[in-house]
C-alpha cells in the first residue's frame, strides 16, 4: 500500500538472502595470505636493505636495487595474478582484496631502498614487520618514538 500511495510501482519477487560464508572465508583467507607475504618481504628488507641505508653492511647499493626492482617488486605485482589463476577466484571484491596490499608493499619496498623509512620502525624486526605488512598508515610521536593511537 505504501508504494501505491507514493507513486512507485514494484514488480517481481524480492527477498533477503543470508550472507555468503564462502565470500567471507575467501576474503579472510586472502588477507591472511597478503599479511604472510608482507611479513616475508619485511624480513628480507629489514635484514638486507635497511642496514645498507644505515651503513651497517657491505652489500652494495646496486645489489639492493636488483633485489628490490628485480625480485621483490615484480613478485608484488605478479603474485596476485598467479594466485587468482591457481585458485580460480571469480569475485571482484576478493580479487581486489588480494591485489591492493601488494601495491602498498611495492611502494614500501621503494621507500626502504631509498632510505625513507621512519626511524621509529627500524628499532626492531617486529615494529618493522607491523609497519610493512599492514596496509595502513601509522602516526608516530616525535618525542617518544611510539605509535600514536587514533582516538
Confidence of residue 53 (pLDDT cuts 50, 70, 90): low
Q: What's the pLDDT at 108?
A: 92
Chain position carrying cell 615494529: 127
Q: What's the pLDDT at 8?
A: 56
Strands (E), the chain: none
Give the bridge partners for 140, in sequence order.
147
Position with higher pLDDT, 60 vs 15: 60
What number is the average pLDDT over the span 27-36? 91
What number is the average pLDDT over the span 98-110? 93
Amino acid at each position: 500500500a505504501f508504494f501505491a500511495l507514493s507513486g512507485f510501482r514494484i514488480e517481481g519477487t524480492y527477498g533477503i538472502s543470508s550472507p555468503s560464508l564462502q565470500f567471507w572465508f575467501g576474503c579472510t583467507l586472502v588477507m591472511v595470505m597478503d599479511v604472510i607475504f608482507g611479513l616475508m618481504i619485511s624480513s628480507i628488507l629489514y635484514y638486507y636493505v635497511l642496514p645498507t641505508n644505515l651503513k651497517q653492511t657491505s652489500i652494495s647499493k646496486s645489489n639492493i636495487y636488483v633485489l628490490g626492482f628485480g625480485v621483490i617488486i615484480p613478485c608484488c605485482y605478479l603474485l596476485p595474478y598467479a594466485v587468482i589463476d591457481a585458485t580460480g577466484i571469480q569475485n571482484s571484491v576478493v580479487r581486489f582484496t588480494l591485489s591492493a596490499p601488494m601495491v602498498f608493499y611495492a611502494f614500501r619496498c621503494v621507500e626502504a631502498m631509498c632510505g625513507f623509512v621512519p626511524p621509529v620502525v627500524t628499532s626492531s624486526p617486529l615494529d618493522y614487520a607491523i609497519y610493512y605488512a599492514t596496509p595502513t598508515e601509522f602516526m608516530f610521536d616525535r618525542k617518544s618514538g611510539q605509535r600514536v593511537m587514533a582516538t
